[in-house]
């Protein structure tokens, strides 16, 4: 019994001694937060720097933990032993306050200093004058197409201009202390878009040629002349915003009634990524769309059988495509129609009507052409009476003809009689009477 109490006493004494020694060892240690926090940046890079006080700590190996625009529900820390942090602007929304904080602490969180923080705003002007719904896509791997809506309170004659920077071309851009008009100091290094689209005289979009899929782009849309218009920042990686042109589709129906759709999409890069497609199938008979889900093509034939098709109904079909779920859809293809397959009763009615009509038309055409053929081989002989009838249709012509032929006939008769008996008086009287 005494031995047990002695064992417990020794254990309690040991714990007390360890706590006392730990407390004694930490006495006099200096553990202070970072100081002189500064920020320098350009269009692509943010660099925070701070100074570290003399920290004499033997409890743990300390690290700096920094945060940028940390959401409360999902804090993301950056652990480093360095006294600076460099970060890409592509991961930060530059249209809002940039909040940065840093503190020093142990990895297990047992000891840490207070946070040193700073906040920076890079834009100025009326927030409701900046463009809205800004979106850029890399269309057909050939050009960047950006669109937006004017700000709710933008001036009527606002002249939005799209400036953009390519990261590889701006790697040596100078770092500057940020302020609300920082982008104006970098405009000379930007490229300006020139192919704008307008709505009511206000630019609402612009596109420019671009073919490098591995680049990173930064955009600023602003009215440089009107200082009250707030600029808008955005960025993109072209390949992540690749949008294909509308597919070209064909519809075919096989002998057994199966319906297949085949397609062709131009501008698809050689990357081995899954292409997604979606069909839109609309039944024109009952005016209902068939429910369809996006699908991934497993072969290189670019064709698919359409399921659950009513063979007697007429459908309208169109198709769109994209890379996986994070990429924008292409526009819908041109609509194609699928005619319903006629049933046996309808087919019999059509055959019973079409066949007799076709035979009749063929017979009439054959008779007409046979008649013309015989006329060409055996032309008709004209009737003599019709010739005279046609020639004597004019009364004057008939009288002239009769007078001429009568006189001619009398002259011929007289000459014959006189030749036979020139001295006979009877003959002479006959001739004269004849003349009379």
Q: Which residues of the chain have pLDDT under 70?
A: 1-30, 53-58, 70-77, 255, 267-273, 298-300, 341-351, 373-374, 378, 381-436
Would you say 148 and 207 are in contact if contact means Cβ atoms under 8 Å apart?
no
Q: Which segments of 129-274 are extended strands (E)?
A: 132-139, 143-149, 161-166, 191-192, 195-199, 202-209, 217-222, 232-236, 242-243, 248-253, 259-264
Yes or no: say if 342 and 354 are a contact pair by the CB < 8 Å rule.
Answer: no
CATH topology of domain 246-338: Immunoglobulin-like (2.60.40)
Domain extents in the chain: 35-120, 127-242, 246-338, 385-435
Separation of alpha carbons 417 and 420, rounded Å: 5
Homologous superfamily (CATH) of 127-242 is Immunoglobulins (2.60.40.10)
What pLDDT was estimated at residue 432? 43
- Predicted confidence at residue 134, as pLDDT, reads 96
Q: Which CATH superfamily groups domain 35-120?
A: Immunoglobulins (2.60.40.10)
CA dihedral 66, 72, 73, 75 (to 10 degrees): 0
pTM over 0.75: no
**What is the per-residue pLDDT for 30?**
58
Q: Would you say the CATH fold of 246-338 matches that of 35-120?
A: yes
Residue 255's φ and ψ, nearest 5 degrees, are -60, -35
In this predicted structure, what is the pLDDT of residue 435? Answer: 39
pLDDT the model gives residue 153: 92
Residues 6+ away with beta carbon under 8 Å from 149:
131, 132, 133, 204
Q: How far apart are CA 235 and CA 167, in angstroms?
A: 11
Q: What is the pLDDT of residues 374-389, one digit of tens each?
A: 677 767 766 665 555 5
Q: Cβ–Cβ contacts within 10 Å for residue 25, how many?
A: 11
């Amino acid at each position: 019994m005494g031995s047990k109490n002695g064992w417990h006493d020794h254990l309690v004494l040991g714990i007390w001694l360890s706590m006392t020694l730990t407390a004694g060892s930490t006495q006099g240690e200096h553990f202070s937060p970072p100081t002189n926090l500064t920020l320098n940046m350009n269009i692509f890079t943010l660099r925070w720097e701070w100074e570290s006080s003399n920290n004499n700590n033997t409890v743990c190996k300390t690290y700096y933990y920094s945060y940028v625009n940390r959401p409360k529900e999902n804090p993301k820390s950056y652990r480093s032993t360095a006294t600076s942090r460099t970060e890409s602007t592509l991961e930060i929304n530059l249209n809002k306050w940039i909040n940065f904080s840093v503190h020093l602490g142990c990895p297990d969180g047992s000891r840490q200093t207070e946070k040193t923080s700073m906040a920076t705003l890079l834009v100025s002007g009326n927030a409701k004058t900046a463009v809205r719904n800004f979106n850029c896509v890399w269309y057909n791997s050939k050009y960047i197409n950006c669109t937006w809506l004017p700000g709710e309170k933008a001036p009527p004659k606002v002249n939005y201009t799209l400036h953009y920077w390519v990261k590889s071309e701006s790697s040596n851009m100078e770092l500057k202390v940020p302020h609300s008009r920082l982008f104006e100091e970098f405009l000379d290094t930007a490229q300006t878009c020139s192919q704008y689209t307008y709505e009511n005289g206000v630019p609402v979009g612009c596109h420019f040629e671009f073919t490098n899929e591995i680049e990173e782009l930064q955009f600023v849309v602003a009215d440089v002349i009107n200082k009250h218009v707030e600029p808008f920042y955005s960025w993109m990686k072209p390949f992540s915003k690749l949008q294909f042109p509308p597919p070209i589709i064909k519809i075919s129906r096989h002998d057994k009634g199966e319906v297949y759709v085949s397609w062709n999409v131009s501008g698809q890069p050689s990357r081995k990524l899954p292409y997604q497609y979606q069909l839109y199938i609309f039944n024109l008979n009952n005016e209902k769309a068939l429910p369809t889900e996006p699908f991934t093509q497993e072969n290189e034939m670019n064709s698919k059988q359409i399921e659950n098709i009513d063979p007697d109904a007429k459908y309208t079909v169109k198709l769109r495509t994209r890379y996986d779920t994070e990429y924008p859809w292409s526009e819908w293809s041109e609509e194609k129609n699928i005619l319903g397959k006629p049933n046996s009763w309808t087919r019999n009615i059509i055959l019973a009507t079409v066949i007799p009509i076709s035979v009749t038309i063929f017979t009439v055409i054959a008779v007409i052409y046979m008649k013309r053929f015989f006329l060409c081989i055996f032309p008709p002989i004209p009737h003599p009476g019709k010739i005279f009838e046609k020639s004597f249709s004019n009364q004057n012509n008939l009288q002239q003809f009769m007078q001429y032929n009568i006189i001619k006939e009398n002259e011929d008769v007289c000459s014959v009689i006189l030749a036979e008996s020139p001295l006979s008086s009877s003959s002479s009287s006959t001739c004269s009477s004849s003349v009379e």
